[in-house]
Amino acid sequence: MPHTYGKKPTACLALADGTIFYGKGFGATGETQAELCFNTAMTGYQEIMTDPSYAGQIVTFTFPHVGNVGVNAEDDETADPVAAGMVVKWDPTEPSNWRATERLSDWLASRGRIAIGSIDTRRLTRAIRQQGAPHAALAHDPEGNFDIAGLVARARGFAGLEGMDLAKEVTCAQSYRWDETRWAWPEGFGKQEAPRHKVVAIDYGAKRNILRCLASAGCDVTVLPATATAEDVLAHNPDGLFLSNGPGDPAATGVYAVPMIQDVMAKTQIPVFGICLGHQMLALALGAKTVKMNHGHHGANHPVKDLETGKVEITSMNHGFAVDSQTLPEGLKETHVSLFDGSNCGIRMTDRPVFSVQYHPEASPGPQDSFYLFERFAASMDEAKVS
């Protein structure tokens, strides 16, 4: 595809089918390869780039104004960007926000993430929707020297996310405690000083704001690595078990995660709550199956219907795999569905306080449509203590 902005291109995006997009590079220099997806959110580019669920993916932003609020340390969902790269329509705008401490391009460069601008993101998004999420290679060279054949070969050589366990790559190295609560004006982040429940959270790639929501709901949170065993979990004598979001193929992560969940549920009646990959892990543990989606759900405007109340929530989503609702066994009920395509977005057991959702209630696109899920988890722990 020829470039149209009148200058020599300094970045190149190559798809596995041989399609080439030239543009203007920013952020780090070099090359990377990953699955290419698109995100429709109008805000939250920093949170998206630091969301561990985007490991192994290059993110195309359909909203053109990226960079306009800069970046700041408070909005990181994990310590550093996890997404492999960024694709935008226009060059990053200068930050204009009182919370900004750094420009987006400088932030990306200092953290080794490649980005490309001046791209026809509408054409690219249409290609992803029609053909499925392609494998891609992204290169940034200020001199504009590109080995096109080599980039296409790198894109074709990418193994893909199916069968890939990425949770082990983004999980914490050791356990830790979490007591920070949600951000509130004007104090900023708070601290949970009077928790009512002890919760073990399994980190498959946990976003910080999920942990803050748990703390805000009255939980004393202990985070364990993705490979934690049932013995590791039960050693903390928790009131509840939380299963976090994360990247990769749920079936691959389930090799070690599913036995742990099944073992915990066999030995105790504590409530269990899962989000995103945690939702998929719970479904697998209870006998359902997961499938790879054509292009996934990535955005902050996804309507989800609660089948039990009839209410519709505006949700944030980020997933390329889904629970196959046709495989739900007896005793496992579908509670939420996407109003975009009817795919499964929530389940619960009919005889135990065990439930999960595919979307991200902590991301607040509604903005508070889904926080009740954290309150439901806390209430289920209250009831379990009484019973």
Q: How does pLDDT run across 283-337, given as a tens digit for each residue?
A: 999 999 999 999 999 999 999 999 999 999 999 999 999 999 999 999 999 999 9
Supply the DSSP string of 210-243, one letter for each residue. HHHHHHHTTEEEEEEETT--HHHHHTT--SEEEE
> Which pLDDT band, with edges at 50, 70 and 90, does 6 fall under?
low
Count CB atoms within 10 A of the CB of residue 234: 16
Count CB atoms within 10 A of the CB of residue 224: 23
Note if the bond before 238 is cis, omega within 30 degrees.
no
Q: In the chain, what is the straight-line distance between the N-terminal and C-terminal CA atoms, in Å? A: 65
What domains are defined for the chain? 11-157 (3.50.30.20), 167-386 (3.40.50.880)
Supply the DSSP string of 297-365, one letter for each residue. EEEEEEEEEETTT--EEEEEEEEEEEEEGGGPPTTEEEEEEETTT--EEEEEESSSSEEEESSBGGG-S
How confident is the prediction for the chain on average, in pLDDT? Answer: 96
> Which pLDDT band, with edges at 50, 70 and 90, does 375 fall under?
very high
Residues 160-167, mean pLDDT to the nearest whole number = 97
Per residue, what are the HEC states of 105-150?
HHHHHHCCCEEEECCCHHHHHHHHHHHCCCEEEEEECCCCCCCHHH
Give the catalytic positions in this structure. 276, 360, 362
Strand, coil or helix: 77: coil
